[in-house]
Structure 1
Amino acid sequence: MEIASVTPLILTRNEETNIDRTLDRLLWADRIVVVDSYSDDATVEIAESFENVDLTQREFDDHTSQWNYGLDQIKTNWVLSLDADYQVPPAFIEEVRKLEPPPDLAGYRVDFTYCVYGRPLRGTLYPPRVVLFRNERARYVQDGHTQRLSVDGDVSEVDTKLKHDDRKPLTQWLDNQRRYTRLEAEKLTQADDVGVTDRLRKTDVLAPLLMPIYCLFVQGLILDGWAGWHYTLQRTYAELLLALVRLDVRLRDDSDPTQEGAA
């Protein structure tokens, strides 16, 4: 694959702790499209310091619309869709250069090495994603608190992993979780055909109890020291918050208004 036919696309909102490291690994790209949601930190200044960055700003409404707006700004056949905390190693680009995609192939899926402040973990719940795809054959759709790429065609694999290394403050992560959880709870309530993980979540009890066991012992994160504990506690907190939101809605719906009046 001609590397000049690939344009990286990144969404940003207050990513000053991540964006420099991400863009520094994309110097091979002729053009990088950055769609910023009016950051009020140094994100824009850092991004515009890279000569190959073409930055535009758009008021944020939802991730799906933001990603699709970014796709509309890209002129090449292929898109490399990246979160602002993804790290692209040189081995990944070398593998992409050697790809010979057939006409019916619409994209490539990659796996991730999850890092906590630069420390790689031996396991993660972070799923593989299609990040390299033909622009005319893909579009984003909303999926709970996040977005899902809908691809028209076959998908293959890239062997080299990307790194996920988010170094934003924990307070920002907590704020995001509170916002995401409401959307995820709504999706879970409306879903009928769900996988094993969501079936556990629907019990409102088992997922928060099993999460630390799964992370520490099944994924082996207990061997990763405090970084492993950090990730485990984050994922357990997220499951606890989701269970609490679902239980709160259930109890409110089941409450008897006459009892409140009697009190």
Structure 2
Amino acid sequence: MPRSTLSVAIITLNEEANLARTLARVQFADDLVVVDSGSTDRTLEIAKYFGAKVFTEPWKGFARQKNSAIEKCVGTWVLSLDADEELTAELQREISLMLEADAATLPQIDGYRLRLRHVFLGRWMRYGGYYPDLKLRLFRRLTPAGAACFTDRPVHESVQIAGRVETLKNDFLHHGYPNLNIYLEHMNRYSSLGGQIVAAKGKVSRSWLAFCWNVALVPTLTFVWNFIFRLGFLDGREGLLLHLYHSAYISWKYAKAWQIGSRAARA
């Protein structure tokens, strides 16, 4: 039976530091699609060098940008990656074997979760609830129930498909935070988006006790749970920094939601 085809969909903005590593690991795919939102570095040059079809579009948000990339794919299967992610050699082989056996697999599988390893300041975060971080990233472009797509939300978007989903055995890596400056910039942006979501849901209480709970106690309890009880301390100094700053992110998110709610109440 013929091998099923694979498209890889990636969105980019100034990713010259990461993109070559990502694209080098997916050269076994039949179709590479990069949707860029205005890079001013060598991102487009790198994408074209590795044979990707490159499209430039205004930024529409994470989910809509990723859905635009999926719509431009032609493969039976789509692998959606961020530009700072990398397949291991073992996962490459596993996906290739899946594509070869796909037509004979019954009942039909419509998606696969992949096991994500987070690499923080150069160290794999094995503990504290960070591994394995299962992500539905490999899926049929079209299913009997319709086309796969990402949920339209400002942050933490995820794939929606109707059908059977399984989990592959091997890992892919996330190299998103090679230094603290990048991590803190991302957390500042994501906490702003998260605060908007909390405020939009009307979950901002104006009571002093609720404010203390969300901004101080929830972050503290999260740190204790992940760093102590989920063994995050086994990841050393990097683990301490990650869990400490993740707790700060939670505090920022609720503080920003409170700020949005306070402004709306005064308007």
The TM-score, its normalising length taken from structure 2, stands at 0.81
Counterpart CA distance in 2 for 1:14 and 1:2 is: 37
CA contact (8 A) 1:114 1:165 kept: yes
Distance 1:102 1:138, change over 3 A: farther
5 Å-filtered alignment, 1:162-173, equals: 162-167=172-177, 170-173=180-183
Q: What corresponds to 1:146 in structure 2?
A: 156
Q: What corresponds to 1:118 in structure 2?
A: 122
Counterpart CA distance in 2 for 1:26 and 1:121 is: 24
**Structure 1 unmatched runs, 5+:** 194-198, 258-263
Counterpart CA distance in 1 for 2:13 and 2:252 is: 24
Counterpart CA distance in 2 for 1:253 and 1:37 is: 31
Shift of 1:229: 2.3
SS at match of 1:159: strand
Counterpart CA distance in 1 for 2:35 and 2:122 is: 25
Q: Deviations over 1:184-207 (max 9, x none)?
A: 2232345499xxxxx9x9844332
Counterpart CA distance in 1 for 2:73 and 2:37 is: 18
Q: Which amino acid aligns with 2:155?
A: H
CA contact (8 A) 2:223 2:243 kept: yes
Q: Please state if 1:98 is matched with 2:97.
A: yes
Shift of 1:139: 1.1
Shift of 1:42: 2.4
Q: What corresponds to 1:80 in structure 2?
A: 79
Pairs aligned (count): 250
2:112 to 108, 115, 121: 108
SS at match of 2:187: helix
CA contact (8 A) 2:112 2:165 kept: yes
Q: What corresponds to 2:33 in structure 1?
A: 33
SS at match of 2:219: helix
Distance 1:115 1:90, change over 3 A: same
Counterpart CA distance in 1 for 2:225 and 2:153 is: 24
Q: Please state if 1:130 is matched with 2:136.
A: yes
**Structure 2 unmatched runs, 5+:** 204-209
CA contact (8 A) 1:22 1:84 kept: yes
5 Å-filtered alignment, 1:227-238, equals: 227-238=238-249
CA contact (8 A) 1:22 1:87 kept: yes
Q: Which amino acid aligns with 1:115?
A: V
CA contact (8 A) 2:6 2:79 kept: yes
The TM-score, its normalising length taken from structure 1, stands at 0.82
Q: What corresponds to 2:225 in structure 1?
A: 214
Shift of 1:74: 0.8
- The percent of aligned pairs where both chains have the same amino acid is 26
The Cα RMSD (Å) is 3.0
Q: Which amino acid aligns with 1:15?
A: E
